[in-house]
Amino acid sequence: MARISFPYEGFGDAVIPDGNLLAVLAPRTAALSSGSDLEEVKRALGEPIGSPRLRDMVKKGNSALILIDDNTRNTPTARLLPLVLEELAAGGVALQDTAVLIALGTHRAMSDAEVETKVGKDLLERVRVYQHDAHDEKGLANLGTTEHGTEVWVNKLLLEFDHVVALGHITPHRVAGFSGGAKMVQPGVSGVVTTGQTHWVSALYEGEEIMGTIDNPVRREMNAVAKKAGLSFIVNVVLDREERIYRCVCGDPEKAHAAGCEASREIFGVPFPEYADIVITDTFPADSELWQAAKGIYAGDLPLKKGGVLVTVTPCPEGVAQGHPELTDIGYLPFAEAKAMVDRGEIEDLTLAAHIVHVGRIIRDKGRGIMVCPCISPETSRKLGFAPAATPQEAVDLAFSMTGPGAKVIILQNGGDLLPIHEPEGGPSS
């Protein structure tokens, strides 16, 4: 029997018969040279891709706005910011002419303690830090539309600075293909209208058509929005399983990001030999609420057979979705049902609609879902569309009762970051 543990205290283990287990998939741990992993960031700042060095793009008297991600991401921002500020200072940008904007997207605002952890206590005392509010219409500027008609509403602060720099990390992503790059602008510092329009585009595609794909319709719209908003330089890192900096890419928001996506695939892209009847995934590190934990569900979709069962094991201490409380009432729906509700105007929030579809395609259209989550009640789990289970072992037993004793199983570890890639034995990948 194979014993499977989970990265959450008190959840307990699950055992799987050896003959049923196809694979245990996890991100790679990189073989890094000795010394600080910040040396990789310094190298990348000195060797930008597709653009001059940041210090050569700015000049004395210029101002700079740095976009950073929020506490739902594990970017080591407090370690990276001093290096970016040092680079700006080398080009003549004074600290008092620099500010930080937390790119919350549609997420909840961060607490003072969370901001201090993210930015660092010392910097927080010396640099202006703002939080984006996607719902604050007075704080947004309209920059017209993209070529494909997406309305461009962004935080007005972007227009008040000479340079906009985005600092983030790159992992596989269901909506954008990969995180990072222009995503720090859209949805990071965009209005709800812009975010809804781009996210609904992603809902029209299956997960395997978007996730882990560098060039896709949603990413192209995000790039167009970021270009209109004036994003000129990115600093993106790829972390390994131990959350060490494996690769850093700096420079042009599109060219540098594409290079970073390739590095991200090296860490998070893991092969599996055949599709499974049962996929069991944790959601680490996207564990705060189910809206974030869905990243593990999206990864679990990729190796799941049609008609299979996806078991999601997650803590979600903040519940279902603080920024989208309506999700609990609506639940996850089949694509056709959700689209009909959008067409009838019954769901006006397209970001919410897209999320409902992303998960609904998996646990409603493709297969069934079981969830182990102590912070979401069994009643709410059922309302959302999951069969609830109190422990991982109970979930495994229930999954086998649904699929039969011969069911093949794949386990995902660090599911919130993973990109399973089908590579059949003796054949080309798909």
Instruction: Answer whether residue 32 is part of any domain.
Output: no
Q: How far apart are CA 285 and CA 281, in angstroms?
A: 12
Whether residues 305 and 347 fall in one domain: yes
Residue 31: other Cβ atoms inside 10 A: 7
HSE-up (13 A, CA, CB side) for residue 154: 31
| Domain end point (choices 251, 268, 285) | 268
Domain-located, residue 318: yes
430 is a domain residue: no
Q: What is the pLDDT of residue 212?
A: 96
One domain for residues 85 and 145: yes
Task: Single out the residue in 268, 289, 316 at which a domain terminates.
Answer: 268
Does the model's pTM come out above 0.85? yes
- Asked if 88 and 198 sit in the same domain, the reply is yes
Residues 276 and 263 in one domain: no
The pair of three-digit structure tokens given for residue 75, joined into one six-digit string: 């970017």
In a domain, 427, yes or no: no
Strands 14-16 and 2-4: antiparallel
Last residue of a domain, one of 268, 295, 311: 268
3-state secondary structure of 278: strand
Kindly state whether residue 429 falls inside one of the protein's structural domains.
no
**DSSP β-ladder status, 140-145 and 151-155:** antiparallel
| Statement to judge: residues 166 and 312 lie in one domain | no
- What is the CATH number for 101? 3.40.50.11440
Residues 96 and 190 placed together within one structural domain of the fold: yes
Residue 288 shares a structural domain with residue 414: yes
Say if residue 113 is in the same domain as residue 228.
Answer: yes
Tell me the DSSP string of 35-84: S-THHHHHHHHHS-BSS--HHHH--TT--EEEEE--TTS---HHHHHHHH
Contacts with 352 (C-beta within 8 Å, 6 or more apart), sequence order: 324, 326, 327, 330
Regarding whether 139 and 71 lie in a shared domain, the answer is yes
Q: What pLDDT shows up at residue 36? A: 82
Residue 198 included in any domain: yes
Domain total in the chain: 2
Residue 43 within any structural domain of the chain? yes
- Looking at the structure, do residues 13 and 41 belong to the same domain, yes or no? no
pLDDT in tens, the chain (430 residues): 899 999 999 999 999 999 999 999 999 999 887 778 999 999 999 999 999 999 999 999 999 999 999 988 999 999 999 999 999 999 999 999 999 999 999 988 999 999 999 999 999 999 999 999 999 999 999 999 999 999 999 999 999 999 999 999 999 999 999 999 999 999 999 999 999 999 999 999 999 999 999 999 999 999 999 999 999 999 999 999 999 999 999 999 999 999 999 999 999 999 999 999 999 999 999 999 999 999 999 999 999 999 999 999 999 999 999 989 999 999 999 999 999 999 999 999 999 999 999 999 999 999 999 999 999 999 999 999 999 999 999 999 999 999 999 999 999 999 999 999 999 876 655 5
Residue 332, domain extent: 2-27+271-422
Same domain, 281 and 221: no
Is position 114 within any domain?
yes
Q: Are residues 220 and 342 in the same domain?
A: no
